[in-house]
Structure 1
Amino acid sequence: MHPPAPANRSERVHDADAAIRQTDSDAALARLSAVRKGYLTDRFISSLLPRAQLQPLRSPLINTGTYPEGQLCQIVSLGAGSDTRFWRLMDGPWKEQIGAYFELDFPDVTLKKAMTIRNPRSGLSTTLGHSELDLGGQALHSSRYHLLPCDLRNPPADIFPGLFKEYLSPALPTLLLFECVLVYMSPEASSILIQWFVDFFNPSTHTPSPGTLGCTVYEMFGLEDAFGQVMMNNLRARNVSLPGAKPYPSLESLPSRFLTHGFTSAKALTLRNIRSNYIERSELERISSLEMLDEVEELNLVLEHYAITWGVKTSSSAASISPWIKWGLRPVKQQLADIA
């Protein structure tokens, strides 16, 4: 039996936002399950989940679907939720290249994450060193990591200058990460959001040579076919809508998200393509040995409706464009030889 409809628009909006936030919890629990089964290595994810040791394992289909895999730079993760990527980067060989790392999400999400980070039992604060809370505990700052509260659907020109303050530098190469975020926003709102960063990294009197801007989006697309409609109906049953999927009915349409904003280049691949052609055969064999997967056809259908799209925007000089023009995934030669 469905609950009664909210009484007014503000309650409906709040209810819809709660459903969107729940998708982050679902993703975090799926990642925890994949880690416990051996698909992924992430020693931090359990710190961000209450009673992690009591959470049940997910099905092989969910576990397999969860598995993906110089100069100072910046990373801005928008709609970061329970992501542990910053801590994993700090635990690896690239930690000295991260000049600044930003995570943005709903204020109640960042409040919860800030409290978890500051809890000594989580072990997350050790990586940060000294940190300070801000905005009533909804924001957190350390020398490299910044957790910022906002609603990404609001005009970024109204909220970003105050949030980023002096922390975000237009002079450094910067990567924007959108992991299942833009699909929940209207196309107009997501376009304005991307354009703000494009404008920020454009040449100006203060920054005549801005850093290269990269952007990566991971989300569902092509939901107008039969299987896509099943996905949409399942989400509607949980009060989740996907207004941002409508402009992208095909894989070929996805790069336009960046090209319309003047990006130098943009490409997209489905997760099925990535799984088949961009992951080492030995790794695929390791994954298949972890547990029996009967729903191979269903997995392929799901992976056909998720894609990674990436784009890069450089200055107009040939010297700045050439190192980035082939930026992206590299096919595995062995698989290509087998296919040929």
Structure 2
Amino acid sequence: MEPPVRQTHARRDDDGAIRATDSDAALARLSAVSKHYLSDPFIKSFVSRPHLQQPRPPLINIGTYVRSEGLDALVDQWLELAQADGTQAQVVSLGAGSDTRFWRIATGPRRDALRAYVELDFAENTIKKAMAIRKSKELSAVLGPPENVTLAGGGTTLHSPIYHLLPADLRLPPSEVLTPLLSTPTPGSSEPLLSPSHPTLLLFECVLVYMAPAASSRLVQWFTGYFESGVLGGLIYEMYGLEDNFGNVMKDNLRARGISLPGVEPFTTFASVQSRFAQYGFVTSHALSLREIRRSYISPAERERISQLEMLDEIEELELVLEHYAISWGVQLPQNKDTLKARWDTWGLVPYGPAKGV
């Protein structure tokens, strides 16, 4: 066994490489926004010198767009279903990084649908994000009056009436990490940060793939136990089926950056992705590849608009890349709640029909 100091040093290096993937995602989103694939006035606040960043290739811009469209539609529908039930929803974004979703929701038509929005990530990421929020008048204004916004944990933690930014290593035992963070009251409140009785959506955007499958299972199972008497949804975006040439090249490139993908090993086929939430006892378990979302789940008008933004010659390469990424989702409901099942069973993407052209 290696000395503890060497193990700690190796983990720190690995974590640094994983944290760097958030910068990649933020720059990709900034590029998609600058090329008018997406509208997001908040992403520039989380990118260093955004006006100097170079746009990404069309293939990356389109992939970022399809990912965002699929996830946005599912999150919006979750909030809509909660409102139809006459309640507010909670969202927990795990490995949130530089995501801007809270600000987009809080300034959009579903702003009143949120009871709590929680972001969890490495402390190095949360302190960086908290600094960016405090530095930006635009971001800070969305959180509410300054007197209702607090920093803690040496700047790694931020609380506002609805938005909460918390440091956590999600690989550690959830009872040690999540229980004290999420089941205890927030400053100035007598209620737990997360209410077990409000419909709650878990967001995993390229986070479980960096974790050992056993750690991922413990993480999800903590939430299924916490919400055993309520409505719990899970939404995962990540790669799968990396046993072919494309996958081997991807893994080699990531290994060169010091990044491994232990979480991808159980998901070699699309069927294994589709059944992902079923293994946790969720009553629904669905998945779609980004290729299928692009072809059949984006409106014809949007497909036409996107096709006019940039010239793309590598259609086969685009389809190959999109076929290796998927969005999966599922719902856990309390037992003997058929009335809830009838409503929450409808949560999912609705097809428009096959795409023509790009």
TM-score normalised by L of structure 1: 0.92
Partners of 2:165 and 2:296 in 1: CA distance? 35
Partners of 2:150 and 2:92 in 1: CA distance? 19
Contact persistence 2:251–2:260 (CA under 8 A): yes
Shift of 1:237: 1.2
Q: Tell me the residue number matched to 1:3.
A: none
Shift of 1:123: 1.6
Shift of 1:256: 3.2
Q: Tell me the residue number matched to 1:221.
A: 240
Partners of 2:55 and 2:304 in 1: CA distance? 21
Partners of 1:142 and 1:284 in 2: CA distance? 38
**Aligned partner of 1:77 among 84, 87, 93:** 93
**Aligned partner of 2:140 among 112, 122, 125:** 125
Shift of 1:229: 0.9
Partners of 1:11 and 1:21 in 2: CA distance? 15
Shift of 1:326: 2.6
Matching residue's letter, 1:157: S
- Secondary structure at 1:39's aligned position in 2? coil
Matching residue's letter, 1:167: L
1:109 is aligned to 2:125: yes
Contact persistence 1:315–1:321 (CA under 8 A): no
Q: Tell me the residue number matched to 1:159.
A: 177
1:169 is aligned to 2:167: no
Q: Tell me the residue number matched to 2:63.
A: 65
Matching residue's letter, 2:205: E
- Secondary structure at 2:344's aligned position in 1? coil
Shift of 1:225: 1.2
Partners of 1:13 and 1:257 in 2: CA distance? 28
- Secondary structure at 1:151's aligned position in 2? coil
- Residues 1-340 of structure 1 correspond to what in structure 2 (within 5 A)? 8-68=6-66, 69=69, 70=83, 71-119=87-135, 121-129=136-144, 130-164=148-182, 165=184, 166-202=192-228, 210-316=229-335, 317-332=337-352, 334-335=353-354
Contact persistence 1:255–1:311 (CA under 8 A): no
Partners of 1:241 and 1:285 in 2: CA distance? 37
Q: Deviations over 1:251-299 (max 9, x none)?
A: 1001333212111110111000010010011111111111111221111
Matching residue's letter, 1:174: T
Partners of 2:143 and 2:97 in 1: CA distance? 18
Contact persistence 1:101–1:144 (CA under 8 A): yes
TM-score normalised by L of structure 2: 0.88
Partners of 1:23 and 1:56 in 2: CA distance? 17
Q: Quick check: 215-224 or 312-321, which moved more? A: 312-321
- Secondary structure at 1:123's aligned position in 2? helix
Shift of 1:10: 2.0
Give ranges in structure 2 of 5+ residues lacking alignment.
70-82, 185-191
Q: Deviations over 1:110-165 (max 9, x none)?
A: 0010111111x452000001310011110000000000001000011111121122
Change (3 A) 1:122 1:46: farther
Partners of 1:335 and 1:292 in 2: CA distance? 20
Contact persistence 2:143–2:163 (CA under 8 A): yes
What stretches of structure 1 move > 3 A for 4+ residues in a row? none
Coordinate RMSD, CA, aligned: 1.3
Change (3 A) 1:97 1:84: same
Matching residue's letter, 2:233: G
Matching residue's letter, 2:302: E
Partners of 2:124 and 2:118 in 1: CA distance? 17
Partners of 2:120 and 2:276 in 1: CA distance? 21
Q: Tell me the residue number matched to 1:4.
A: none
Contact persistence 1:213–1:312 (CA under 8 A): yes
Question: Which structure has more helix as a fraction of its residues?
Answer: 2
Q: How high is the sequence identity, in percent, across the aligned residues?
A: 56
Give ranges in structure 1 of 5+ residues lacking alignment.
1-6, 203-209
- Secondary structure at 1:192's aligned position in 2? helix
Matching residue's letter, 1:59: P
Q: Tell me the residue number matched to 1:205.
A: none
Contact persistence 2:202–2:235 (CA under 8 A): yes
